A and B are shown apart, each in its own frame.
Chain A
């Protein structure tokens, strides 16, 4: 039986209002449960591509999430399907307490209060932060905030998790524990990062972007062996 792809992108183009072209004909298909790394130098278009996945940016071309077109009429459903975790957890956490932050998505989906509480418990358990439910979000450490930021999207029970630079700013122990956590999660995962050691340990497939184009798409092991390709696009073998 044919399974619907988690993410399907066909010939996606996007230019910012200042005329800068960020994406030039992106094609990408991601199967359910697949974990994929998006790497490339700064300004390659990685973050721009991520913002297309839940319709915050909308370019020319086709973006489908679990068979659902990312068009204005579907935005509510698409945003429930795609959990976007920002690079800085301070941008993601804006409520008075951890509970309020994790409950934000379900509350604005209009779920009943018991279901919202169940979702919050589930999401905090998934990131091993159950004891933090009544803490004040902005008093936590960066590593703790990162976990809570991931919980804020897990509570919406997304099918696709999109993470922008998840390991940036973490100390080695927090980074290691984040990798373990991400490996445990069953969702389809797309991770934009410069941390190639994280890619090697966690993400079996690797997509290299540069100048708004996909320049390589292969198994992580095979791409990491190609020193010339990595060097050409500003990357270093871990």
Chain B
């Protein structure tokens, strides 16, 4: 992979078409089920619950026939940060220490409970990332928009412009590949004038300094792009009527309801175990 190809590194928002039960599930039910499970994983207080969560996510991945390599690739970029956080957690665990004492150097004492808390942190984030990637891999943008719009509908009673919020979500997703491409263009332009992008290492400040000349033009070009996109939307009558047509209409099947109820049960088990 060339050092200039940023688009390949963007895995968020990727969708893999398929016919698995997860793909066929009603988008609204899929979003509710995902929200329930992800919330439970975020707040699961004990290792047994997180273990169950891992089992559930692995089962769901098997159901979809998605290649594991696809999902595991998403774990790699944040892994160094997670391990760093885990080490901090071992030394600065605020919870009460519980024996046995595993290791000690003078005043530094590491208890088994510290290791368990650190392990849970890494596991929790890995399961969350797997879960979110799975949702994005089986949900196309139009399904996501349909689902979000349907779920936000009750807010319209409070005069909250839910359709605009949905459009914002859609435009945000659209901007991810655009920003990657724009960054690629800027980096190439700078490299052609002698900036060394292949240089690795250096401390945090040095790295930040290298990124800064990229960020400023990226912001400028993104703002310009946003303005032109707004013009293009205006020109095609966006906002000139409050009635927007929904192209997707699906009916909740009993299997969708059953799946949501099952996920609610699993979510409760993840918290309570």
Taking beta carbons and an 8 Å cutoff, which residues of A are in contact with B? 54, 56, 75-76, 79-80, 84, 86, 88, 91-92, 94-97, 100, 103-113, 116-117, 138, 152-153, 156
Contacts and interface: CB of A to CB of B under 8 A. Distances in A.
B196 interface: no
Given A94-B171, A110-B244, A113-B245, 6 more contacts: A86-B228, A86-B235, A91-B228, A94-B174, A94-B232, A138-B178
Contacts of B228: 86, 88, 91
B236 A75 contact: no
Contacts of A153: 236
B229 A91 contact: yes
Nearest to B140: A96
Interface string B220-253: 0000010011011111111111011111010000
Given A91-B225, A91-B228, A110-B241, A156 B236 contact: yes
B177 A105 contact: no
30 contacts: A56-B231, A75-B240, A76-B237, A76-B241, A79-B237, A79-B240, A86-B228, A91-B231, A92-B232, A94-B229, A96-B141, A96-B170, A103-B247, A104-B233, A104-B236, A104-B238, A105-B236, A107-B247, A108-B236, A108-B239, A108-B240, A108-B241, A108-B244, A110-B244, A111-B245, A113-B247, A117-B247, A138-B177, A138-B181, A156-B237
Nearest to A89: B232
Given A94-B174, A96-B174, A79 B235 contact: yes
Given A86-B232, A94-B232, A113-B246, A108 B174 contact: no
B16 interface: no
A154 to B, nearest CB: 11
Contacts of A152: 236
Q: Is the interface of B mostly helix, strand, loop or mixed?
A: helix
B173 interface: yes
Nearest to A77: B240
